[in-house]
Structure 1
């Protein structure tokens, strides 16, 4: 066996120590984004991996995290317990034959062996630098008994009091685990008959853990798109997540950027939670059209979102099944998402403020509320400006309104991850730009001292 050089081992240990040390995260002073333990901005780059804790062996979990880390992700969305036999890999709700509860469907009887595995996963994720958006209990769509725990929660073996006991157990056990943000719900509004169960679960958790942040993932088919759209749990929400399966379902609140800008105006941190599933059913443009996936992702990050999300797949295989996940690490969708991460990781993205007036982009922006509208954002110190142009066109800019300085200009191709240097521009009230072709492009005006193009 080949020996690994000592210097490389030391380097890897230093990197792992640094990544683990970035937690806990907290809200920035202006409550717009997350910062780590060193007060550095943390952009949520989430992979939706619902059944990961339950589906894979511990070595495979480590391999999966390593793989998505190489592709730019720093966050996973998972459930502590999974019970969606039609979707998750393995044999839910067991992990490697170990059930989560000692008594079937009695949430007050957690199985120590199962939760030792949960402990291991959370420690592993922290070591590798991953934030875990952690669902205490994925409830699932109440119309489908094969998805989630909603029907087992209602079973004769369980009760709201048992859910509180489960919540107290989770709160005590994970109150000092620094790389967690709790997620209420899971495709379910938990209303009417189900509300006492989730309310007691959350109350039990918060009785001994009032330090972790919370977001919510509810039933977007009922119009509960934002975490704070659910009035029953709004008081718990620190970070407002947007969960939309079909953009058209937003109705008058859409497209995505329209509702994101409106929510950004309310002052709470927002992010795209559990958004695009490559080639997932039903096969709407949201999951099938690469330009739609790019458009929603770039528009969101330019419309106030402090994070985005993705899950890879093919027409025959979805990553959240965890049956054949390795081939899904190099799909076209994974590549385009990595291109997006590369750009925003290279920018001081936390300084971006959405540009919604008509002072900078004079003409060519498109119609607000339509899919062809070009979303843009400007740095709070006027040092850079970014605009995502969804289709080829000519635009005119008032550079006086953008910055008093001369700016460098760069095209960024979101399809290939390649930059094209254009030159310099400034002090022009009617500056015209033509996209290189008819596809989507990102245009960056850069006045950042010593900024280097990534790659």
Structure 2
């Protein structure tokens, strides 16, 4: 071996040792300095675009997982939310390879063969540039509201968290505690804190942690000031059309210290609206418009991203499985429903601008619907360089353009269904102006972008 090659190997060894030192894997994501967004290690903004794939580890084989993850990467998703101890009898019903996650349902006895399958999916996601939002467990397995299913206590919650933290220390992971359950007593709070501390003990604190509450609900109600909670998550849930999930973002945005927040479970495409209410109509299902409306309302209210969901996908429904909440379309067909494409358009819109400059603004919109399904939402860049205004029903609104700091401005109508931009004009006109979107009515949502022209 020549001297040059020895030097190259020595340098590579040094770099790897530095990256994987005792502090753990360099944190893939972190919170921005202003506490409002997520960023990568180099400070580059990270737009959280998640998909709820709760049963991914449990129900899909490797070929199916490849298909699903590749589809999501191509559509622009950045985070895949999946549960290790899954909701649909995730303790006892085996995965496609006949494996269950724990020996004797004991959190201190993980089944290596089950976790090798989880490893495969995590690695495949990583190869596609996706981050796994990993839920260690669904909430039924720790909540006192489900005594017949509970397997966790403070001690084994810490041990289980430490195991996961060590195993995925060097992987791009976001830890999501909770799993559709709320904290109802001090014992549950201590259990979640123990699991969080276990994760940190295992991965050296190299990954972000949040909490997925039951819906409608907010992690900030329980853990906003917890030092281990890096960003908040709310679940606006599936109760009704036109339910303004942006109100949750507005709530969290006012809290101190500032922490990023986002909707981790909004109304799913193709789930019956208000299915958990007596007398609801099982044929009245949320569509792609409902998904878009929730997404833009939330992000323009201060969220650092958004999570999409589809009723057929979260459970990875196929004919061999019993449908839950009236699932009726195989997951491998549902992955191409229109709402999923439109989430990629959402991300493309925001990442094509310096979205990290945005803050929700109630002063730039002077007139327009402020209640109901047509409620106008707007965000304004902190330097006044651009604004984004959303009209969910295509109804007209009035803007105070004096808040924009530019001599010349470009005005654009953006179609959130197809991602097309229509330039209105470029001018230096200031003052108050009223805008009427190209079309109106349900499903005819439009976005106005006014931005500085160099």
CA gap of 1:430–1:108, structure 2 versus 1, over 3 A, is closer
CA distance in 2, matches of 1:396, 1:45: 30
CA distance in 2, matches of 1:73, 1:27: 19
CA distance in 2, matches of 1:294, 1:262: 21
Shift of 1:81: 2.2
Shift of 1:167: 2.2
Shift of 1:78: 0.6
Decide which of 219, 224, 231 is 2:214's aligned counterpart. 219
**Aligned residue in 2 for 1:398:** 400
Q: TM-score scaled to structure 1, two decimals?
A: 0.80
What is the CA deviation profile of residues 316-353 of structure 1, one whole-angstrom value per residue up to 9, with x for unaligned ones?
Answer: x4453242322112212223323322322322211111
CA distance in 1, matches of 2:26, 2:191: 34
**Aligned residue in 2 for 1:174:** 168
**Aligned residue in 2 for 1:379:** 381
Decide which of 247, 264, 268 is 2:259's aligned counterpart. 268
1:230 equivalent to 2:222? Answer yes
CA gap of 1:94–1:393, structure 2 versus 1, over 3 A, is closer
CA distance in 1, matches of 2:317, 2:227: 34
Secondary structure of the residue aligned to 2:140 is coil
CA contact (8 A) 2:218 2:233 kept: yes
**Aligned residue in 2 for 1:295:** 293
What is the CA deviation profile of residues 20-44 of structure 1, one whole-angstrom value per residue up to 9, with x for unaligned ones?
Answer: x996111111121111133211100
**Aligned residue in 1 for 2:303:** 305
CA distance in 2, matches of 1:233, 1:135: 21
CA contact (8 A) 1:82 1:92 kept: no
Most deviating of 346-355 and 274-283: 274-283
Q: Which runs of 5+ in 2 are unaligned?
A: 1-24, 276-280, 319-329
RMSD: 3.0
CA contact (8 A) 2:52 2:313 kept: no
CA contact (8 A) 2:292 2:339 kept: no
1:75 equivalent to 2:66? Answer no
CA gap of 1:418–1:105, structure 2 versus 1, over 3 A, is same
**Aligned residue in 2 for 1:29:** 33
Shift of 1:107: 1.2
CA distance in 2, matches of 1:274, 1:22: 28
CA distance in 1, matches of 2:62, 2:33: 37
CA contact (8 A) 1:22 1:36 kept: no
CA gap of 1:101–1:143, structure 2 versus 1, over 3 A, is closer
CA distance in 2, matches of 1:264, 1:196: 26
CA contact (8 A) 1:163 1:201 kept: yes
Shift of 1:274: 2.2
Shift of 1:69: 1.1
**Aligned residue in 2 for 1:414:** 416
CA gap of 1:219–1:329, structure 2 versus 1, over 3 A, is closer
**Aligned residue in 2 for 1:98:** 99
CA distance in 1, matches of 2:348, 2:197: 40
CA distance in 2, matches of 1:378, 1:69: 29
Q: Which runs of 5+ in 1 are unaligned?
A: 1-20, 450-455
CA gap of 1:430–1:319, structure 2 versus 1, over 3 A, is same
**Aligned residue in 2 for 1:243:** 235
CA contact (8 A) 1:384 1:448 kept: no
Give the alignment of 1:141-180 within 5 angstroms.
Answer: 151-154=148-151, 159-177=153-171, 179-180=172-173
CA contact (8 A) 2:239 2:267 kept: no
Secondary structure of the residue aligned to 1:133 is strand
CA distance in 2, matches of 1:247, 1:376: 24
CA distance in 2, matches of 1:117, 1:440: 42
CA contact (8 A) 2:38 2:45 kept: yes
Decide which of 38, 44, 60 is 2:48's aligned counterpart. 44
CA distance in 1, matches of 2:41, 2:239: 36
Shift of 1:388: 0.2
CA contact (8 A) 1:95 1:114 kept: no
Secondary structure of the residue aligned to 1:385 is strand
CA gap of 1:362–1:92, structure 2 versus 1, over 3 A, is same
CA contact (8 A) 1:276 1:287 kept: no
Q: TM-score scaled to structure 2, two decimals?
A: 0.80
CA contact (8 A) 1:105 1:152 kept: no
Shift of 1:122: 1.7
CA distance in 2, matches of 1:22, 1:46: 22
**Aligned residue in 1 for 2:345:** 339
